Amino acid sequence: MTEDTELERIKLRKLMKMLGGGKRVKAVEDVIEVKSYSEFKELLAKTASEGKILVVDFWAPWCPPCLMMAPVFKEVAKELGGKAVFAKVNVDQVKEPALDYGVTAIPTLIIFRKGKPVSAKIGFAPKPVLKAWVERFIK
């Protein structure tokens, strides 16, 4: 680790401490990695109750288009994170959501509103396309 990186980490830690009044502040994740079917269902229910849309990337680590999509998905999540919730589901580890929503090709991106799928995209999407697609569903 370089001195500049270490200095930035120290400054960020001090700033977080000042903003949190001495309490540890938990950073909000840009993209939630869903690890189980129950976690997926809880996330779906939580976003529905909060009135937020949920954007889910169904992917697998052996899929080249999925790997190309990952940094684009993360960038859009970072930019729109306060307006929508972004999650990734590895279909090799958590199969049930993919089966529930008929995912037969990856990457498949599905937008959920009020716990129900409202739109889906299959395959790689460049950042401007992905961002515009998500923004159409943000109130």
Which CATH number applies to 31-135?
3.40.30.10
Q: If we measure between CA atoms, which residue out of 59, 55, 58, 105 comes closest to residue 84?
A: 55
Half-sphere exposure of 75 (CA within 13 A, CB side): 13
Phi, psi of 70 (to 5 degrees): -50, -55
Whether 63 is catalytic is yes
Q: What is the pTM of this model?
A: 0.79
Instruction: From the candidates 66, 94, 98, 125, give the one annotated as an active-site residue.
Output: 66
Instruction: Tell me the per-residue pLDDT of 81-100, one tens digit each, with 9 for 90 and over.
Output: 889 999 999 999 999 999 99
Which of 61, 77, 57 has its CA nearest to residue 127? 77
CB atoms within 10 A of CB 103: 21
Model confidence pLDDT, tens digit, residues 19-70: 554 443 334 468 999 999 999 999 999 999 999 999 999 999 999 999 999 9
Q: Which of 48, 63, 70, 120 is catalytic?
A: 63
Report the SS3 class of residue 7: helix
